[in-house]
């Protein structure tokens, strides 16, 4: 018997984002990266029929009305075999496919990358599936990173033999490290310290630690009236089931359209609640493992903060590896803008698509089998 549903969702904490008359144009770039990694070492529990962590690696083009465009993350570099970690990927048998670098994708659309059209590249963090290949951009394009990055991750390989980044990522270009204490002027949205990147309220960086040292997220204002935002989640989370559902956004009584292909057109919410480890309608489906986070307790704190943002209807939260939204039928990708996401109802359309991953678990439970099991990863 499933636990009782909440009578009504709780009000999420206020985000306290100030008004601004300036918005940026945001495009979500499908970087052509496709990853298939075993789920167990990263997220728990193991759900029947979903053994792998699948995903793209999104990059975001942010165009300010009076400044050169900037990029948030670069996906995986096309020649990822050049990475210092390549032997480890082979040993682990990770499935990694990349067709193009982000620089090439931009050039294909007429962007003068070589001529310095991109002002800055912001890395959410130092991991290989986000850093791409900055050497495909000219030295005039700066790199922007989060707090503590330089001390933790420099120099790059081969200057430091155990480095995961390449020295060619930095050579000849400015590397700017954001300090939320110094640059943020006490700005805070929800639980996260913030930095007003352009100084006009159109785009912010958020201090979202835990997954790695220096991890940051982006928050772009896509319309001014009403105010709407796109939250660029990087690797603060890897799956919608890490921060959904919550008391602010419990599983609905009915899911329409149904995320389960064999339950169309409407899926009763209790089918998903029945496979939840706690039988809960208001707790996330997944927990991040200790080995997958630089600091698990801080990562859990950050993930809970994502759930607070996600519960606000005027925020579209997009994770870098969200496989559930990679279908162009669900999302609008570069070269098109995503600024009309709220008007087109994209947020409501994609909110529960991650539940598709649990279709086999639902069927197993209905047949009297096990919907999930706990692995050996703490």
Q: What is the pLDDT of residues 153-165, one digit of tens each?
A: 999 999 999 999 9
Domains in the chain with CATH codes: 25-373 (3.60.15.10)
Distance between CA atoms of residues 9 and 245, nearest Å:
10
Distance between CA atoms of residues 289 and 287, nearest Å:
6
Classify 30 as helix, strand or coil: strand
Does the pLDDT at position 266 exceed 50? Answer: yes
> Rounded to whole angstroms, what are the CA distances from 299 to 6, 24, 68, 251, 291?
27, 29, 33, 23, 11
Quick one: pLDDT band at residue 9, thresholds 50, 70, 90? Answer: confident
Nearest alpha carbon to residue 342 among 229, 219, 249: 229
Classify 306 as helix, strand or coil: helix
What is the pLDDT at residue 257? 87
pLDDT in tens, 315-333: 999 999 999 999 888 899 9
Mean pLDDT of the chain: 95
pLDDT in tens, 59-68: 999 999 999 9
Does the pLDDT at position 286 exceed 50? Answer: yes
Q: Span 227-236, mean pLDDT? A: 98
Q: What are the start-end ranges of the H helices in 219-378?
A: 270-273, 296-310, 346-350, 359-366
Beta strands 34-38; 52-55: pairing state = antiparallel
Distance between CA atoms of residues 217 and 322, nearest Å:
15
What is the pLDDT at residue 60? 98
What is the pLDDT at residue 2? 45
pLDDT in tens, 14-55: 999 999 999 999 999 999 999 999 999 999 999 999 999 999
Q: Report the chain's terminal Cα–Cα distance, integer Å.
A: 28
Quick one: pLDDT band at residue 5, thresholds 50, 70, 90? Answer: low
Look up the pTM and report it: 0.96
> Which percentage of the chain shows pLDDT scores above 90?
94
Quick one: pLDDT band at residue 8, thresholds 50, 70, 90? Answer: confident
Does the pLDDT at position 166 exceed 80? Answer: yes
pLDDT in tens, 98-132: 999 999 999 999 999 999 999 999 999 999 999 99
Q: Strand ranges (DSSP E) for 57-141?
A: 58-63, 70-72, 95-97, 120-122
Distance between CA atoms of residues 367 and 179, nearest Å:
54
User: Angle at the Cα of 334 (from 328 to 335), degrees rounded to 5?
Assistant: 120
Q: Span 249-278, mean pLDDT? A: 93
What is the pLDDT at residue 3? 47
Does the pLDDT at position 1 exceed 80? Answer: no
pLDDT in tens, 296-314: 999 999 999 999 999 999 9
């Amino acid at each position: 018997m499933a636990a009782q549903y909440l009578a009504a969702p709780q009000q999420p904490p206020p985000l306290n984002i100030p008004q601004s008359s300036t918005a940026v144009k945001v495009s979500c770039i499908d970087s052509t990266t496709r990853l298939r990694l075993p789920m167990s070492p990263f997220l728990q529990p193991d759900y029947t029929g979903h053994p792998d962590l699948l995903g793209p690696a999104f990059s975001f083009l942010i165009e300010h009305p009076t400044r050169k465009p900037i990029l948030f993350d670069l996906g995986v570099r096309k020649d990822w075999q050049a990475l210092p970690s390549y032997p480890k990927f082979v040993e682990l048998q990770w499935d990694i496919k990349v067709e193009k670098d982000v620089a090439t994708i931009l050039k294909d659309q007429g962007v003068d990358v070589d001529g310095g059209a991109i002002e800055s590249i912001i890395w959410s963090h130092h991991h290989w599936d986000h850093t791409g290949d900055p050497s495909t951009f000219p030295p005039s394009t700066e790199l922007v990173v989060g707090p503590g990055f330089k001390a933790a991750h420099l120099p790059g390989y081969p200057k430091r033999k155990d480095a995961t980044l390449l020295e060619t990522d930095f050579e000849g270009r400015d590397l700017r490290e954001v300090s939320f204490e110094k640059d943020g002027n006490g700005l805070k949205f929800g639980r996260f310290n913030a930095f007003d990147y352009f100084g006009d309220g159109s785009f912010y960086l958020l201090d979202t630690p835990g997954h790695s040292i220096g991890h940051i997220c982006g928050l772009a204002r896509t319309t001014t009236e009403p105010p709407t935002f796109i939250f660029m989640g990087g690797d603060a989370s890897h799956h919608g089931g890490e921060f959904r559902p919550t008391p602010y956004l419990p599983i609905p009584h009915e899911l329409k359209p149904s995320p389960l292909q064999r339950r169309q057109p409407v899926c009763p919410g209790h089918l998903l609640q029945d496979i939840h480890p706690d039988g809960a309608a208001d707790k996330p489906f997944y927990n991040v493992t200790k080995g997958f986070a630089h600091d698990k307790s801080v990562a859990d704190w950050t993930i809970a903060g994502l759930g607070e943002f996600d519960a606000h209807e005027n925020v579209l939260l997009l994770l870098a590896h969200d496989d559930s939204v990679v279908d162009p039928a669900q999302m609008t990708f570069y070269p098109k803008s995503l600024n009309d996401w709220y008007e087109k109802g994209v947020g409501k359309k994609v909110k529960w698509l991650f539940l598709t991953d649990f279709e086999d678990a639902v069927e197993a439970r209905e047949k009297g089998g096990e919907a999930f099991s706990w692995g050996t990863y703490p």
